[in-house]
Structure 1
Amino acid sequence: MSNRLKSVLVTALAPAVWGSTYLVTTEFLPPDRPLLAAVVRALPAGLLLVALTRRLPQGEWWWRATLLGALNIGAFFALLFVGAYRLPGGVAATIGAAQPLLVGLLAVGLLGERLTARTAAAAVAGMAGVSLLVLRADAQLDAVGVAAAVGSAVVMALGVVLSKRWPSPAPLLASTGWQLTAGGLLLLPLALVVEGAPPSSLSAENVAGYAYLSLVGAALAYALWFRGIRELSPTSVSFLVLLSPLVATALGWLELDQQLTPLQALGALIVLASLVAAQTQNRSRRS
């Protein structure tokens, strides 16, 4: 197995883990507290990594880490929350699936990379596959929700590209901790204003769910994600995001007894084909 393939497979664990957050949120967390979940997911994980690495940003990396944390964590989660609440989940997921194409376009201007017709076609096919996987015919659109969903895809795409443009001089866990802490601190006042104070008591299931989101869904998953950005092209990494709705659908089918239609199965196959096409395209360009 080549080093590049190993990097792709390891990085793919991050969006696969993120695909499990829907199940964890609906089955283990208090209802109607998505921003609290976002804060608990990001801030404790960030502070833990900063404490373990004992390294703070230096010089320009104070504002760079803050900006990257806002794009990859804070603004992304906030816009995702608005989109998820104002749109059916399938619509939000389909819009989010535009991220590979957005990353490819941003990488042309910010990194000087070339967006090939094959990569663009794979990105469009990935969106189509996700729409078949999660979109429903009776889905209703909302202008604010659509704008928020588009915004969440744009800010994360920009965060991915800038993370590649600005390679951190610090160890991976330290720079991951900086971004999670910055994003969590930006989300904290928003969560308090929108949702109020946290619940006065939590069940053992709630605690377990929050611990999973923070330790696995944030500390581990984002470390793997940023490692992938360091080692792979941003376009290759961004295509792996398509695994999240795929894993979420599979878990819903396996654990929540949700039905899997033939169109959803077709969508899953299209998503997997677009992933393979994108990764082989990037491999051929490097060879």
Structure 2
Amino acid sequence: MAPQKTISAAAWAGLFAMGFLWGCSFLAVAILIREVPIYWVVAGRVSLAALMLWTYVLLKGLPVPSFSRYLWRFILVGALTSAVPFLLITWAQHHIPSGLAGILNASTAIFGVLFAALIFADEKLGFRKGTGVALGVLGIVAVIGPEALKSFDLTSLGQLAMIAATMSYGVSNSVGRILLSELRPEVAAAGMLTGAALVALPVAFVVTGAPPLTLKTESWGALLYLSIMSTSLTYIIYYKVMAAAGAGNTSLTTLIVAPVSIALGAAVLGESLPPQAYVGFGLIALGLLVIDGRILQRLRRREAA
């Protein structure tokens, strides 16, 4: 096994910042959907985020690719990484608590590993990763609960929508690696969000008409938070942390997202989750740590000592 990069103090700060910012996004969505149709939540989020990221790219003087060459790639990857999962998550939060959405979102890394193993020869699953994926899947089953299979209602559909969103994220990681790997990460992110906006805006207009503009202050705040803090800023932090600490370490931020979303859902929205949700999150977290591999390495060192 190749040695993993160590995590510096700055990288740890970035991991916790991303976890907090992404964890808060579920509360922001819960606030925004009270007043804004889900299609415009997604369209507004990706459009403003794309604008912010292109501003960052231009201010940094990064090379901008030819749109005639990359447009279809931006649209495809943007749909998979933003437009589709954001829509599924936003719809799901009409029917499940924000904390539960945060827990199910933690399975993103599980599906990312699984799809990468299916697509790339250098991403073989192996026993360790396979065990981690299996634990993650058991965690998902525990969160949803066996009763969901007996009474298939909107809550069950909301949970399945969250799983579909994380699967879309997982596929998008592999597709993005194939189609956009030659671009600077910040430019690829700006392009993906532009592609997502090109998908989400026409759909929002066709399905719901013009966007609502007379919103409460808290709704405007939630939209700006989703666009600027939870999407644009986190993309910038994400790629800086990945460069410093590696992809494996960066994926650990999903272990921070769920506790933040649970705490905010309980404190602000008065949500309470069943015990099975916490058991499921424990299994998903254990699966991620097994995939990460360092716990097993330390156990082997202790046995050898």
SS in 2 for 1:258: coil
Gaps of 5+ in 2: 298-305
1:66 is aligned to 75
**Whole-Å separation in 1 of the counterparts to 2:205 and 2:71:** 25
- Quick check: 1:194 aligned with 2:207? yes
1:109-128, aligned counterparts within 5 Å?
A: 109-112=118-121, 113-128=123-138
Farther off after superposition, 36-45 or 264-273: 264-273
Structure-1-length-normalised TM-score: 0.76
SS in 2 for 1:141: coil
The answer as to whether partners of 1:83 and 1:146 remain within 8 angstroms in 2 is: yes
Gaps of 5+ in 1: none
* CA RMSD after TM alignment: 3.8
1:265-276, aligned counterparts within 5 Å?
A: 265-276=278-289
Partner amino acid, structure 2, of 1:210: L
2:300 is aligned to none
Question: How many residues in Structure 1 have an aligned counterpart in Structure 2?
Answer: 281
1:17-36, aligned counterparts within 5 Å?
A: 17-27=21-31, 30-31=34-35, 33-36=37-40
**Whole-Å separation in 1 of the counterparts to 2:47 and 2:185:** 17
The answer as to whether partners of 1:68 and 1:159 remain within 8 angstroms in 2 is: yes
1:163 is aligned to 176
2:152 is aligned to 141
Percent identical pairs in the alignment equals 22
The answer as to whether partners of 1:164 and 1:229 remain within 8 angstroms in 2 is: no
SS in 2 for 1:197: coil
1:102 is aligned to 111
Specify the structure having the higher radius of gyration (Cα).
2
1:74-93, aligned counterparts within 5 Å?
A: 74-82=83-91, 88=96
**Which one of 27, 34, 37 corresponds to residue 41 of structure 2?**
37
**Which one of 5, 26, 36 corresponds to residue 7 of structure 2?**
5
Partner amino acid, structure 2, of 1:164: R
Distance 1:258 1:267, change over 3 A: same
SS in 1 for 2:7: helix
Distance 1:271 1:10, change over 3 A: farther
- Quick check: 1:56 aligned with 2:71? no
The answer as to whether partners of 1:176 and 1:226 remain within 8 angstroms in 2 is: no
The answer as to whether partners of 1:236 and 1:278 remain within 8 angstroms in 2 is: no
Structure-2-length-normalised TM-score: 0.72
**Whole-Å separation in 1 of the counterparts to 2:159 and 2:26:** 20
